Amino acid sequence: MTGLDLAPAAGAAPRPRRILRHAAMESRLVARNGEQLLLALVIPIGLLLAHAVAGERFGIAREPFVASVLALGLWSTGFTSLAVATAFERRYGVLERLAATPLRRVDLLAGKAFAFAGLALGQSAALVAVGFAVGWSPHPSVAQTLVVVVAVPLGLLAFAGLALVLAGLASAELTLALANLVYLAGAALGIVVPPDAYPGWAEPVLRLLPTTALAESLRTWAGGGTDPLPLVVLSCWVIAGLALARKVFRWTS
Asked if 25 contacts 119 with a C-beta cutoff of 8 angstroms, the reply is no
pLDDT of residue 237: 97
Q: Over range 101-111, report the average pLDDT.
A: 80
Asked if 51 contacts 127 with a C-beta cutoff of 8 angstroms, the reply is no
Asked if 225 contacts 144 with a C-beta cutoff of 8 angstroms, the reply is yes
68 domain residue, yes or no: yes
> What are the pLDDT digits (tens) for 114-136?
888 889 999 999 999 999 999 99
Asked if 189 contacts 206 with a C-beta cutoff of 8 angstroms, the reply is yes
2 domain residue, yes or no: no
253 domain residue, yes or no: no
C-beta atoms surrounding 190 within 10 Å: 29
Long-range contacts of the stretch 51-59 (C-beta < 8 A, 24+): 51/134, 52/134, 52/135
78 pLDDT band, cuts 50/70/90, is: very high
pLDDT of residue 10: 59
> What are the pLDDT digits (tens) for 196-225?
999 989 999 999 999 999 999 999 999 999
6 domain residue, yes or no: no
Residue 2 DSSP label: P
Flag the least confident range among 136-140, 161-165, 183-187, 247-251: 247-251
151 domain residue, yes or no: yes
pLDDT of residue 163: 94
Ordered alpha helix ranges (H), 134-252: 142-169, 172-186, 203-206, 210-223, 229-248
To the question of pTM greater than 0.85 for the whole model, the response is yes
pLDDT of residue 7: 66
> What are the pLDDT digits (tens) for 16-33?
888 888 888 888 887 787
Residue type, 29: L
Residue type, 96: E
176 domain residue, yes or no: yes
Domain containing residue 28: 15-248
Dihedral Cα 79, 80, 85, 88, nearest 10 deg:
120
Distances in whole angstroms, Cα of residue 97 to Cα of each of 76, 89, 251: 27, 10, 10
Count of domains in the chain?
1
Q: Over range 40-54, report the average pLDDT.
A: 91
pLDDT of residue 243: 93
20 domain residue, yes or no: yes
Secondary structure class of 86 (helix, strand, coil) = helix
pLDDT of residue 5: 65
Residue type, 157: L
204 domain residue, yes or no: yes
Instruction: With CA atoms as reference, report the closest residue to 78 among 164, 174, 169.
Output: 164
Task: In whole angstroms, give the CA distance from residue 77 to residue 157.
Answer: 11
pLDDT of residue 8: 61
pLDDT of residue 144: 95
pLDDT of residue 43: 92
